[in-house]
Amino acid sequence: EWILHNDQFIQEEDLKISMEDRGYQFGDGIYEVIRVYEGNLFTAEEHIDRFYESAEKIKIVIPYTKDVFHKLMYDLVEKNEIDNGIVYVQMTRGCAPRVHQFPADCPPVIVANTKSMERPVEAMRSGVQTKFVEDVRWLRCDIKSLNLLGNVLAKQEAYEEGLFEAILHRGETVTEGSSSNMYGIKNGVLYTHPATNLILNGITRRVILELCKEQGIEVQETAFTKSEALEMDEFFMSSTTSEVMPIIAIDGHKIGSGVPGELTKKLQKAFEEKLKLTGNV
């Protein structure tokens, strides 16, 4: 199993990370997860663009061009012979004696690994159950930061109740999932939180909004409330690993008739078609 360490491919057991790596001590870094279908990176450019944007927002300079970075990701997938799976890549501000302010002369530390993973076809067919959890995260959720404690605690709360995802809300307003974006459909119109500082603008979210355009589904990037969520005809979530995942219940309340909705299924189908079109499945 090869991993990437800066621009070197090494074996995982040979990786050394300093105790004073700022990712370790402060969560001072960013990450991306890129899907691999049939050995190809899916929407790699979009993920890489977002990685560079996150880096800029926290003022880390990535020492490679996007093309070089892309090739490093691709070579890692090839070296590990990943057919279906993911690449996880993170970058921290580097290591230096522990002070909060940015240290001088501190080269960033990049690591990446791969994992084989099949598509969650069973869950996508049956739909999943969820619960509301208060969104107590900071106000820069648009940054794909390594600081995930708010997300971790929310997911754990759902997991302990046997649920697939936590739906986060700030007061009455639904924002996103602990590791996904959220959508409701009412009278044929798709609603999702606008891409502000309160959510991560998912790459899958962007693909879905594009598919809605192609399929003639009206989209309103407008926040909705918890009670509006419960009254939606259909509900689903999206992420790099969950694709278009139907949500059939929130806090034990059935959404619609408690089965994946028709437009949700249409979007799942369109998403699959897109995988085929781009030579990915």
Catalytic residues: 144
Give me the least distance between CB of 108 and ligand PMP, in Å please. 20
Q: Say if strands 85-92 and 181-186 run parallel, antiparallel, or are unpaired.
A: unpaired
Nearer to ligand PMP, 22 or 155 (CB): 155
CA–CA gap between residue 278 and residue 281 (Å, rounded): 8
Which one, 80 or 180, has the nearer CB to ligand PMP? 180
Give CA–CA dist 134/140, Å, rounded: 16
Residue given tokens 């070197």 in the structure block: 8
Q: Give the bridge partners for 110, in sequence order.
A: 91
Find tokens 């959510």 and name the residue.
199
Min CB(40)–ligand PMP separation in Å: 17
Output 6 or 113, the one with its CB closest to ligand PMP. Answer: 113
For residue 36, give the 3-state DSSP assignment: strand
Pairwise CA distance, residues 254 & 233, whole Å:
10
Residue with Cβ nearer ligand PMP (22 or 137): 137
Pairing of strands 253-254, 243-250: antiparallel
Q: Least separation, in Å, of the C-beta of 104 and ligand PMP? A: 32
Is there a contact between 217 and 191 (Cβ–Cβ < 8 Å)?
Answer: no
Phi, psi of 117 (to 5 degrees): -160, 130
Cβ nearer to ligand PMP, comparing 90 with 179: 179
Give the CB-nearest residue to ligand PMP.
202
Residue type, 252: G
**Alpha carbons 281 and 279: distance in angstroms, whole number:** 6
Q: Which is closer to ligand PMP, CB of 54 or CB of 180?
A: 180
Nearest approach in angstroms of CB 107 to ligand PMP is: 26
Binding site for ligand PMP (CB under 6 A): 33, 151, 176, 179-181, 200, 202-205, 238-240
User: CA nearest 91: which of 19, 145, 11, 152?
Assistant: 145
CB of 144 to ligand PMP, least distance (A): 7
The answer to whether 267 and 181 have CB atoms below 8 angstroms apart is no
Q: What is the CA radius of gyration of the chain?
A: 19
Shortest approach of ligand PMP to residue 233 CB, angstroms? 23
